[in-house]
Amino acid sequence: METRKRAFLKVIILGDSGVGKTSLMNQYVNRRFSNEYKATIGADFLTRDVTVDNKLVTLQIWDTAGQERFASLGVAFYRGADCCVLVYDVTAPNTMDSLDAWRNEFLEQADPLHHDEFPFVVIGNKTDIQAKSEKNSVTQSWCSGKGNVSYFETSAKNGSRVEEAFQTVAQKALEQDTELTKEAYPSPIQLPQDNNKSHEGCSC
Amino acid sequence: MAEGKEAEQVSTSDSDQADFIEPETPVEIKNSMLVTTDSYEHIDYQDLESPVYDSHPSGIIHAIVRSGSVEESTDTNDEELHTQCEESNEDASSNELSSKEISDVTEEVSKPEVPELNSAEFDEDDVQTPEWRNQKKHVFILSEAGKPVYSRHGTEDKLVTIMGVMQALVSFVHDNGKDALRCIIAGEHRFVFLVKDPLILVGVSRGQDSTQQVLLQLSYVYNQVLSVLTYSTLHRIFKQRRNYDLRRLLSGAEKFLDNLLNMFDSEPSFLLGAVECLPLDSVIRDMIAQSIVQHAKVKDLVFALILANNKLVTLVRMKKYYLHPMDLHLIINLVNASESFKAAESWTPICLPKFDSSGFLQAHISYLDESCQTCLLLLSVDRESFFTLSDCKNRIKDRLLKYNGLKAISDSLTRTSYSIQQCGISDLRHFLYKSRSTAQYTSPELEAPYLSQEEQERLFGLYHYLHHRIHTTARPLKILYSVGPHETLLGWITQGFELYAVFGPLVTKPAAIHAINRLLRWIKKEEDRLFILNSVTF
């Protein structure tokens, strides 16, 4: 029962506060950047239509608060995500160290079917300030150690590699949006519970 | 209407009550064909949250029959009533979140930051159009992941953001002490939430509907989804994939949701939890039922019914199995929303959630007359029985033709219902009468001044108001006499019936009471014709 309806893909952005999650989203969706820092309270939602494999899909991007005091939108919030973006700041090495914690938090809360296969995209942001991450190799090996993880270094300010990063996000997310296996399709008719009983009713 | 509320009186004094002499139950039968639940009380929060009919999808019919009979006995049990009342009070207090909590929530979820950021994009957004915003009633379905499944108005594509916000609100409240978000009142809008794992249903009403009435509507919408997918399938899917885009499996079924919601806005049957029967001479109705019994005695056939213009002509059931009014409404909706059944005999799977939410019944659907007014439905658990049932249908049709059954049905349809004048009661403009024991109701045609669409909607609003005031869990009433600027309303609930009557504004209370008593006598006299009193089984 394939439909032509456009797929919605839910993407969650996580990372320490100030690494540029909201800026990345704004750059990607609105192609804008503001130097002013405003902490995200709770979450923001933006959408963008993007073509992947000749299919038009809608990315539903859930930008979250990095600051712990705002990060309380609840377990259910992460559920049903198709891809998770982990962001760190290339100029602040300690934010890279948090990736493990964010990844674990996501897996714990979203609890996807296969933890090891769930797609992540890691983004080292702010390459406009520092062209190459000191932690480039560390991050690379972290990513390759985690299975389905891609790595990009971007600048939300000048837009460098932001498109490519989110294109990969969309690609990976779409891979999650697969058809159901046969068993999930509507079951054939089942006799209402107890066959004998209904026949009793019939025969008298 | 609004001014009217101030002038209303609630008759509670003994002298007032004495005027209402409860007649012997006008319609009394032991063997009802429909499960007679008192729909309204039945569909309260407790029921909606009760896992009973969800977690035991099979064999639920027995539980429903039990709960139906228990409920009637509690009517007389004061102690039980009392505790119920306490529960419902608690319910009411936890019901509406304190304004502080609400403001916490709204602070926590910041709106899509500054609109100027993406104003260009938002211009195309349905959400921003006045038409969309001015809709009286919105209904949204989303998955627990926040993915859009259905929206009554606008396309879901444009509503991704608003559905995300809804999911965030539900999730946030749920996380703070395992609470549940039930209702937000913002200005003249009422946002009602129904969380039915794995779906979230949200109703937004600008009208007079109470929270419970919107909730009733949402539970119908949920059951309509189950009717297409079954409960078991819905759960299996989301267990397999939380991120699943349910629109795929529901594509093609949107029209049933649209139609259900439209019917809900114009037909009192949903509000009353009752069905309307086509008025027919009882001898003819018996003949029609016997035609089915004799010619459709087929193994595994659970229900056989004839519908005409959304009204029930007859229902024959397998012994021990009953049809719940909610399920019957879904059947009526299926027929009402489909043109394709008029073209050919159809064989359609349908899940009746109150009957058995785990699987499909197979429905043989056909029209018996050329003009496609009289629809026969044969519901079986055997999915191989199409040709057997098709034979049954032909034999039933032949017999109905031979004995003028179809003619009687079409004659009754041309007469439409009946005029209020036939009741012979001046001052009385319109009424709804529900026989509680049979889950059936009767109502005259709409006549002046209720001819225009606006006036009909207003009348319907009055009934909603009256129904809500009488059934509100915080303070249920037996009698309500309410004088408004354009109409005087009288609602009266007894063990046997519910009556909602609309008079002209100048009627006096004694005249209204007198009129009601005459109306009840008239209904008693006509009950053989207006109601199906004997339940026929195979």
B91 or A33, which is more confident: A33
**Are the C-beta atoms of B427 and B489 separated by less than 8 Å?**
no
Phi, psi of A132 (to 5 degrees): -130, 140
How close A128 comes to chain B (CA, Å)? 22
B110:A181 CB<8 A: no
Indicate the burial class of B134 (C-beta count within 10 angstroms; 0-12, 13-18, 19 or more): exposed
Asked if A199's CB is within 8 angstroms of B172's CB, the reply is no
Interatomic CA distance for residues B383 and B359, integer angstroms: 12
Choose, out of B110, B118, B237, the residue to mutate when testing the contact with A (most A CBs < 10 Å). B110
What CATH number is given to the structural domain containing A46?
A: 3.40.50.300
Judge: A80–B117 Cβ closer than 8 Å, yes or no: no
Cβ neighbours of A8 in B, within 8 Å: 147-148, 160, 245
Confidence of residue B398 (pLDDT cuts 50, 70, 90): very high
pLDDT at A191: 52
Whether residue A77 and residue B61 make contact (CB cut-off 8 A), yes or no, is no
Share of chain B above pLDDT 70, in %: 76
Query: Which residues, in sequence order, are bridge partners of residue A12?
Result: A62, A84
Contact B361 A189 (CB under 8 A): yes
Q: Has residue A120 been placed in a domain? A: yes
Q: What's the rounded Cα separation, in Å, for the pair A168 and A171?
A: 5
Q: At a CB cut-off of 8 Å and minimum separation 6, what does B387 contact?
A: none
Helix, strand, or coil (residue A203): helix
Domain containing A130 equals: 6-184
Are the beta carbons of B240 and A184 separated by less than 8 Å?
yes
Q: How far is A136 from chain B (nearest CA, A)?
A: 32
B388 token code pair: 């057997």
User: What would you report as the CA-atom Rg of chain A, rounded to the nearest whole angstrom?
Assistant: 21
Is residue A64 in a domain? yes
**Residue whose tokens read 């994939």:** B241
CB B477 within 8 Å of CB B470? yes
> Tell me, what's the pLDDT at B334?
95
Span B488-513, mean pLDDT? Answer: 93
Cβ-based contacts of B537 with chain A (< 8 Å): 201
Q: Which member of B175, B233, B383 has the closest CB to residue A184?
A: B233
Which residue in chain A is spatially nearest to B251 when comparing CA positions?
A: A3
Residue A192 lies in a domain: no
Q: How many domains does chain A have?
A: 1
Cβ-defined contact of B381 to A181 (cutoff 8 Å): no
- CA dist list (Å): A88 to A17, A19, A121, A143, B503: 9, 5, 11, 13, 70
Distance CA B447, CA B451 (A): 6
Residue B354 distance to chain A (closest CA, Å): 11
For residue A49, the Cα-to-chain-centroid distance in whole angstroms is: 15
d(CA A93, CA B435): 74
In a domain, A48, yes or no: yes
- Specify the pLDDT at position B23: 61
| Residue A58 maps to a domain | yes
**pLDDT value at A168 more than 50:** yes
DSSP B340: G
Instruction: Kindly report the nearest CA distance between residue A39 and chain B, in angstroms.
Output: 11
Q: Which is more confident, B134 or B223? A: B223
Dist CA A71 CA B305 (whole Å): 55
| H or E, element range at B374 | strand B374-380
A195 found inside a domain: no
Taking 3-state DSSP, the helix, strand and coil percentages for chain B, each rounded to the nearest 5, stand at: 50, 20, 35
pLDDT category, B395, cuts 50, 70, 90? very high
Mean pLDDT of chain B: 79
Structural domain includes residue A119: yes
Which chain B residues contact residue A200 at CB under 8 A?
320
Put simply, the answer to whether B360 touches A43 (Cβ < 8 Å) is no
Q: Do A61 and A47 touch, CB atoms closer than 8 A?
A: yes
Q: Give residue-wise pLDDT tens across range B260-310.
A: 999 998 899 999 999 999 999 999 999 999 999 999 888 889 999 999 999
Which residues, in sequence order, are CB contacts of A194 under 8 Å at separation 6+? B59
Interface touch B251/A5, C-beta < 8 Å: yes
Residue A198 forms part of a structural domain: no
Residue of B nearest to A48 (CA): B121
**What type of residue is A169?**
V
- What pLDDT, in 10s, does the model give residues B320-347? 888 999 999 999 999 999 888 888 899 9
ipTM of the complex: 0.75
pLDDT of A22 > 60? The answer is yes
Report how far residue B387's alpha carbon sits from residue B298's, in angstroms, rounded to the nearest whole number: 12
pLDDT score of B2: 42
Identity (one letter) of the amino acid at B128?
A: Q
- Out of A182-196, B96-110, B523-537, pick the least confident: B96-110
**B63 confidence band (pLDDT: 50, 70, 90):** very low
- Chain pair A-B, CB pairs under 8 angstroms: 191
Inter-chain CB proximity B61 and A192 less than 8 Å: yes
- Indicate yes or no: pTM above 0.90: no
Convert the pLDDT of each residue in B12-61 to its tens digit: 444 555 566 666 554 444 456 666 544 333 344 444 444 333 333 333 32
The answer for residues whose C-beta is within 8 angstroms of residue B537's C-beta and 6 or more apart is A201, B293, B316, B317, B318, B319
